[in-house]
């Protein structure tokens, strides 16, 4: 994959809107030429219409103070400019960064001027795509850039940074190398009839395939945690009307987002917000109270609630401790899908008004679920609730030194296919099938690993991947 020799791109690399600083980035063979034509160093006698003309005026990777001028020599903005020659840049091309004032007007005028001089507006993710095409990073690292930008917690940021630094790529490369060597071993045996293959050789192949599969499954488990760190733990607050769902929602957000009244059915819509809980991002959802009755609008709200519950990672099922467990609580719990009941944490609220619920009763009526007693009004038990949520998330960790992996949907899907191919290879070995059939499954796994790393990937899929990036990155 190559790029036009003189194709120089430009974009604003800072978020839209007003700010103290806005950065315009150029990348390509004409970056220095275009920058010289519009930049005048402060305190120099150089005529504004000429700009910088001599290479000796520039030192790589230094900030130069001056002004951006238009084609008529009129000053547009006061700036700091850095000139970074290839190959030691983000894209491995000549790169110029213009640090201007962060208002939309000066940035737009500078961008328009550079476009007039022959630069092309960068496509979404094109700077990172050029870094990939020029071999500075592989595709796993490139996708980690997007994860880094979208990180919702410190742990998610750390995980994405490790991916950018190549830790996941090295694990993938190691797996690919093991499969490659295993295929070579199988090819050496494939010329012999199955009955002539030594039993110890067959067992050795089996053990090695199983070890690779275990590595892939471990990556899957770590990526499940990474998804939570990146997207947030989908946490739904559910229960009958007036048990304190909206009050809990407001408490965790530390602001009044949901309307709280004594009137049943106040919450009609599905409210969603993000909150960082001890380093764990929660995608917190307040739902309409579930009950058999309700008007037409409330029933729509309850439909939203049921869909959110079905898609949740964690369900905070709330009871009213002051009134005890009733038939409505039991009806709601029994209506939960079986898979959803495995994600339930029972919260007994209104502890400040009394406690008519015994742990033994909860154990009997809601088997397998833990009860935490709280009062949203006084804050009692809230620290315990937060610690329990963190513990639930951390339960997915296999070892103390293991880090979560933030994977894109594409990467997670390919990893699942890799595990499937390795399981097929193990089944073929268990059934005593010829080794050349086992080799087909291993080849599928190897090909998917190469796809993950960007070594075997269609151009149209590559375009789709980088289309999810912001312009300027």
Q: Model confidence at 464, in pLDDT bands (50, 70, 90)?
A: confident
**In 188-300, beta strands by DSSP E:** 233-238, 271-277, 280-286
- Give DSSP secondary structure letters for 357-391: --HHHHHHHSTT--EEE--TTT-TTHHHHHHHHHH
Mean pLDDT of the chain: 81
More confident residue, 346 or 2: 346
By percentage, how much of the chain surpasses pLDDT 70?
A: 82
User: What is the number of alpha carbons within 13 Å of residue 174 lying toward its C-beta?
Assistant: 12
pLDDT at 399 over 60: no
The yes-or-no verdict on residue 153 having pLDDT over 80 is no
Largest Cα span, the chain: 88
Band (pLDDT 50/70/90 cuts) for residue 305 is confident
Nearest of 64, 230, 71, 59 to residue 155 by alpha carbon? 230
Mean pLDDT for 379-405 is 71
Tokens (6 digits) for 196: 């002539």
pLDDT tens, residue by residue, 84-116:
999 999 999 999 999 999 888 999 999 999 999
DSSP class of residue 318 equals: E
Q: What is the rounded distance in angstroms from the CA atom of residue 286 to the CA atom of residue 301?
A: 11
Model confidence pLDDT, tens digit, residues 214-257: 999 988 887 777 777 767 788 888 888 888 888 888 888 886 55
Determine the pLDDT at residue 470.
75
Q: What is the pLDDT of residues 264-284, one digit of tens each?
A: 444 445 678 888 887 778 888
Does the predicted model carry a pTM greater than 0.85?
no
Q: Return d(Cα 473, Cα 471) in angstroms, integer.
A: 6
**pLDDT value for 430:** 87
Sequential DSSP letters for 155-198: HHHHHHHHHHTTHHHHHHHHHHHHHHHHHHHHHHHHTS-GGGS-
Query: What domains does the chain contain, in order, with CATH numbers?
Result: 9-136 (3.30.1360.120), 148-228+404-454 (1.20.120.430), 232-376 (3.40.50.300)
User: Which of 10, 217, 162, 192 minimizes the C-alpha distance to 94?
Assistant: 10
Assign 51 a pLDDT band (cuts: 50, 70, 90): very low
pLDDT category, 406, cuts 50, 70, 90? Answer: confident
- Lowest-pLDDT choice from 46-55, 225-234, 354-363, 462-471: 46-55
Segment 390-394 long-range contacts (CB within 8 Å, at least 24 positions apart) = 390/277, 390/278, 390/279, 390/280, 392/314, 392/345, 393/225, 393/228, 393/233, 393/280
């Amino acid at each position: 994959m190559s790029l036009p020799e003189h194709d120089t791109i430009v974009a604003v690399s800072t978020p839209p809107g007003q700010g103290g600083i806005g950065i315009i980035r150029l990348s390509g063979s004409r970056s220095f030429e275009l920058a010289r034509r519009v930049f005048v160093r402060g305190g120099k006698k150089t005529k504004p219409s000429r700009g910088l003309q001599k290479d000796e005026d520039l030192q790589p990777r230094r900030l130069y103070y001056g002004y951006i001028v238009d084609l008529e020599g009129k000053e547009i903005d006061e700036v700091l400019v850095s000139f970074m020659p290839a190959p030691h840049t983000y894209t491995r091309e000549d790169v110029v960064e213009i640090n201007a004032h962060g208002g939309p007007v000066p940035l737009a005028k500078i961008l328009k001027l550079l476009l007039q001089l022959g630069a092309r507006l960068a496509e979404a993710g094109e700077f990172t795509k050029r870094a990939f095409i020029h071999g500075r990073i592989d595709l796993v690292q490139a996708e980690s850039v997007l994860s880094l930008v979208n990180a919702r917690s410190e742990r998610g940021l750390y995980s994405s940074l490790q991916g950018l630094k190549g830790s996941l790529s090295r694990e993938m490369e190691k797996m690919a190398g093991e499969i490659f060597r295993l295929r070579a071993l199988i090819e050496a045996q494939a010329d012999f009839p199955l009955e002539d293959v030594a039993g110890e050789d067959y067992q050795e192949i089996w053990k090695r395939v199983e070890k690779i599969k275990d590595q892939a499954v471990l990556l899957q488990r770590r990526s499940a945690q990474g998804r939570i760190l990146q997207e947030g733990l989908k946490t739904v607050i559910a229960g009958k009307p007036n048990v304190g769902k909206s009050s809990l929602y407001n408490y965790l957000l530390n602001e009044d987002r949901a309307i709280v009244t004594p009137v049943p059915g106040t919450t009609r819509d599905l409210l969603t917000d993000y909150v960082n809980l001890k380093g764990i991002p929660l995608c917190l959802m307040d739902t309409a109270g579930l009950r058999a009755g309700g008007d037409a609008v409330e029933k729509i709200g309850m439909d939203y609630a049921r869909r959110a519950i079905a898609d949740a990672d964690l369900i905070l099922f709330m009871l009213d401790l002051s009134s005890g467990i009733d038939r409505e609580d039991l009806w709601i719990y029994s209506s939960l899908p079986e898979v959803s009941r495995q994600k339930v944490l029972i919260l007994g609220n209104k502890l400040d008004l009394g406690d008519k619920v015994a742990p033994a009763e909860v154990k009997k009526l809601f088997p397998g679920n833990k009860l935490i007693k709280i009062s949203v009004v006084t804050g009692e038990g809230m620290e315990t609730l937060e610690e329990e949520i963190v513990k639930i998330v951390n339960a997915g960790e296999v070892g103390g030194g293991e880090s979560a992996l933030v994977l894109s949907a594409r990467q997670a899907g390919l990893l699942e296919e890799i595990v499937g191919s390795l399981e097929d290879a193990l089944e073929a070995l268990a059934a005593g099938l010829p080794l050349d059939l086992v080799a087909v499954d291993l080849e599928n796994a190897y090909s998917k690993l190469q796809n993950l790393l960007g070594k075997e990937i269609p151009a149209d899929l590559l375009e789709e991947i980088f289309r999810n990036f912001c312009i300027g990155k």
